[in-house]
Structure formats: structure tokens, C-alpha cells
């Protein structure tokens, strides 16, 4: 890495566990599940009716009512999480836009999403079929695109620097963080938002994943009783699928000298980023997580550290039989004997899988882990899988001296991203 170091100076989150970074973090370290019965639509036709749904969210807290009506839910999340992150970083002016104290032309974002405004798309299609072409909203097309959230965030907060929306399925959030970091390192910007947002809780998405037999059962595997909070069981021997979730997370990334010059307090440092493709299958992971291995190794090289420097891994940990097995194998292959000294947890056990937002939410988790010394648990891990023998921090948070944390993300199509964060020591 060049001498342009990149630090995290602000955090914003909207998640099933809580609205806001601190509410989300408090829920995670206390092992609270945000997974419950779906209320956004009637899930009666499906075998599974549990999801990581954001509850109690009011988009009008951060958007004008007319803009709320015109935009998809994933943009609502993006705008809200961005406001919190900018406020946290001390970058929000009195007018609710980017502070005049920083250069808006050198402040941008990589704001990713896996699906984009699918709710807006489906609503437009329904209108077309039921009411005719002349009744389709003129706002439908620009507001259903994957870059709609990044566009609206830039408009609302006045960020005029580099702006793009990466799309790499469930690896999107990690790619967004890494590419935002690289924009600062190469001198293209001084401030960047690395972020992901997703609102996939619509019947069509649910039907697709149901037909893939990919969703976890919302039943207690021991008693058989209905228990949505038990649906996501990463690394457990009874795991049988993932839980679809929604939300957003924004990390304010800033060139170190720029942050210190304006008196900002760094939360963590982003030191590594790796990206790879399985080139294997559109849905199944490559054997032994070979693509994930390449992403982790590339991130370690980019960070200039050896495997032994990593203390904690926030795993992709989806709760599917193949992902958890192959990710465990990948960690063992990359870290060797050091794998037995790593703490590895999956916060998807509590949030569910927010797809394009997942990697950003989990990078947020890594920033909090290195800055607080608390590791959130993998809940619902009651039946150890004899084939999976890492330290998965089962069921209860742990205090630990974590200097370096790694976040793994993998997506449909064989996309892989890895981001590494380090504790900030002034």
C-alpha cells in the first residue's frame, strides 16, 4: 500500500437487529436475533416465512415524503445509514448536506447493491398489467436501477466525487468497501463512502430462493417448534439454509492525514482488500472454497501482513451446508496452524443474509470488533459439526484483544471479496 493510509471515521447502519450503528452493535454483542416472521408480504404460500426484516423504520426521518414515495426501500435504507455515518464522522453541515469544511469534489462513494430497486420494478410491472402503460410512473425506471441509491445519496448530501454502484451479488458490500479504499489510495478522493444496501423482501425473490431450496427452516431442530430466530444456524450440524434479510451499512473512509487535519478520530484502519472469482458455478461454491482462498490471500498481500497477524474473521457463514463447510476449509488452507488460534463468528446468525448489504454490515462489525475488543457470537450453534472444528464463538460474545479483523463475502456467480481492518493506534 502507498503512504496514503485509509481510516474509518464514521459508521451508519440500518439492520434487522437495530436501526442505527449502536443499536445494531448492542444487539449483536448481546446475541439478539433480528429474524422473525415476515410482515412485509403474505408468506403463507411459502414453506418458509422467516426473514431478517427491518422493523420500525420510518424513511421520512431522513427523506422528504415525496422522495420516499418515488424511491425503493433499498434507497430509503441507504439515505438513512448515510446520514448517520456522516453525522458520526462530523461531516454533516447545519443544512443537512456535506459540510463546507471538506471538498465535495473529492468526496464520493462506492454504494453497492445486489438486486437494486426490485420493489419499484415489480410495482411498475403490476401497474402496467392492471392499469396500462400510461399509468406507469415516470420515476420507475431511474429509481429501480442498481445505482439509484448511490445517485440519491449524492444528490441529497452533495457528494460530487467518484460515484459508482458495484453489483456482485452477496460479495457486493465487501467489494464496495475495498474499491472505495482503493479510490483514496490512488489519490482520486480524500473521502469515500464504502457501503451496501438491499431490500429484497418481495414475494418474487422469496419464491426464487424457495425453489432453489436454499432457505433455512424456521423451526427449532430439537423440538420442531416454530422458532424463526432459530432459522439461521451457521456452522451447526443441523444447518439447512440461509435467511433472506434487508438493511444497509455505510463506512466513511478517509485518507489519514485528511482525517487528522480536521480533527476526526479514526475508528479503525482499512489495510487490505482482495477479490476473486470461482469460475466454477453460478450457485455452488468452488470445492474447498478455492475462490475464497484466493481473495483472502490477495487481501493479506495487499495489507502487507502474514496470516498469523489476523485475530478474528467475520465469516460469510450463511448457514448453508456447503458454504460453511467450504469456508471452514478455505480458512484452514490459508491460515494453517494459526486457524486454531482464530476467533471466527457469523453475525448472519442474528441479521440473516442481507445479500448486497451483507459485506458492508460485516465490515462495520469488524470495525467495532477492533475498536471495542468485543467479538459478537455465532448464535444457535448448539450441535457442533464434527467436520467443522474452528472456534466459532458459540452463543455468547467474547472479550478479546483483536488487532486485525478480516471480513469474508461470497456471492452467486462465484464472486468473492475480502476486506481487512486493523485497530487504530494513534
What Å distances lie between residue 97 and 24, 83, 92, 234, 304, CA to CA?
25, 9, 6, 40, 37
368/372 Cα distance (integer angstroms): 6
Dihedral-angle region of residue 352 (phi above 0 means left; psi in -120 to 50 means alpha; beta otherwise): left
Catalytic residue list contains 366: no
Spot the catalytic one: 170, 258, 366, 415: 170
Any idea what the Cα angle at residue 121 is, between residues 36 and 24, rounded to 5°?
A: 35
Cell triple for 95: 443544512
Largest CA distance in the chain: 64
Backbone angles phi, psi at 240, to 5 degrees: -140, 15
Spot the catalytic one: 88, 143, 258, 353: 353
The neighbour count for residue 155, using CB atoms within 10 Å, is 12
Supply the DSSP symbol for 40: S
Residue 399: helix, strand or coil by DSSP? strand
Catalytic residue list contains 258: no
Strands 191-198 and 107-112: parallel
Any idea what the Cα angle at residue 42 is, between residues 39 and 46, rounded to 5°?
A: 115
Question: Which of 113, 172, 411 is closest to 280 using CA atoms?
Answer: 411
346-363 exposure pattern, b = at least 16 Cβ within 10 A, e = fewer: bbbbbbbbbbbbbbbbbb
Cell triple for 97: 448536506
* C-alpha torsion 49→55→58→62, nearest 10: -110
Cell triple for 6: 485509509
Residue pair 180/359 in contact (Cβ under 8 Å)? The answer is no
Residue recorded with cell 482520486:
188
232/118 Cα distance (integer angstroms): 24
373/353 Cα distance (integer angstroms): 24
Spot the catalytic one: 76, 143, 175, 316: 316
Cell triple for 123: 410495482
248/410 Cα distance (integer angstroms): 17
Catalytic residue list contains 316: yes
Residue pair 350/365 in contact (Cβ under 8 Å)? The answer is no
What's the length of the chain? Answer: 426
Kindly list the catalytic residues.
170, 316, 353
Amino acid at each position: 500500500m502507498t503512504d496514503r493510509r485509509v481510516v474509518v471515521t464514521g459508521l451508519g447502519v440500518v439492520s434487522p437487529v437495530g436501526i442505527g450503528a449502536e443499536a445494531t452493535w448492542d444487539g449483536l454483542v448481546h446475541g439478539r436475533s433480528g429474524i422473525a416472521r415476515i410482515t412485509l408480504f403474505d408468506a403463507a404460500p411459502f414453506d418458509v416465512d422467516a426473514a431478517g426484516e427491518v422493523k420500525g423504520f420510518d424513511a421520512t426521518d431522513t427523506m422528504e415524503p415525496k422522495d420516499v414515495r418515488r424511491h425503493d426501500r433499498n434507497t430509503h435504507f441507504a439515505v438513512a445509514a448515510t446520514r448517520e455515518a456522516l453525522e458520526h464522522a462530523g461531516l454533516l453541515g447545519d443544512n443537512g448536506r456535506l459540510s463546507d469544511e471538506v471538498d465535495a469534489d473529492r468526496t464520493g462513494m462506492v454504494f453497492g447493491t445486489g438486486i437494486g430497486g426490485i420493489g419499484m420494478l415489480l410495482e411498475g410491472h403490476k401497474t402496467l398489467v392492471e392499469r396500462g402503460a400510461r399509468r406507469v410512473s415516470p420515476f420507475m425506471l431511474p429509481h429501480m436501477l442498481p445505482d439509484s441509491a448511490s445517485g440519491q445519496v449524492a444528490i441529497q448530501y452533495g457528494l460530487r466525487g467518484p460515484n459508482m454502484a458495484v453489483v456482485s451479488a452477496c460479495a457486493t458490500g465487501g467489494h464496495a468497501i475495498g474499491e472505495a479504499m482503493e479510490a483514496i489510495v490512488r489519490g482520486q478522493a480524500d473521502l469515500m463512502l464504502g457501503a451496501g444496501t438491499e431490500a429484497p423482501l418481495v414475494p418474487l425473490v422469496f419464491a426464487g430462493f424457495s425453489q432453489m431450496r436454499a432457505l433455512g427452516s424456521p423451526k427449532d431442530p430439537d423440538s420442531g417448534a416454530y422458532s424463526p430466530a432459530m432459522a439461521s444456524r451457521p456452522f451447526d450440524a443441523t444447518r439447512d439454509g440461509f435467511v433472506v434479510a434487508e438493511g444497509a451499512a455505510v463506512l466513511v473512509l478517509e485518507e489519514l492525514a485528511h482525517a487528522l487535519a480536521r480533527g476526526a478520530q479514526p475508528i479503525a484502519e482499512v489495510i487490505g482488500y482482495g477479490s476473486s472469482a470461482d469460475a466454477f458455478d453460478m450457485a455452488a461454491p468452488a470445492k474447498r472454497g478455492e475462490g475464497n482462498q484466493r481473495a483472502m490471500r490477495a487481501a493479506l498481500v495487499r495489507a502487507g501482513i502474514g496470516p498469523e497477524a489476523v485475530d478474528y474473521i467475520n465469516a460469510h457463514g450463511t448457514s448453508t451446508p456447503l458454504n460453511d463447510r467450504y469456508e471452514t476449509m478455505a480458512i484452514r488452507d490459508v491460515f494453517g496452524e494459526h486457524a486454531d488460534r482464530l476467533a471466527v463468528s457469523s453475525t448472519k446468525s442474528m441479521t440473516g443474509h442481507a445479500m448486497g448489504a451483507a459485506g458492508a454490515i460485516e465490515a462495520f462489525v469488524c470495525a467495532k470488533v477492533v475498536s471495542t475488543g468485543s467479538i459478537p457470537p455465532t448464535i444457535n450453534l448448539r450441535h457442533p459439526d464434527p467436520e467443522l472444528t474452528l472456534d466459532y464463538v458459540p452463543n455468547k460474545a467474547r472479550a478479546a484483544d483483536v488487532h486485525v479483523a478480516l471480513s469474508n463475502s461470497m456471492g452467486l456467480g462465484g464472486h468473492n471479496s475480502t476486506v481487512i481492518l486493523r485497530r487504530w493506534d494513534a
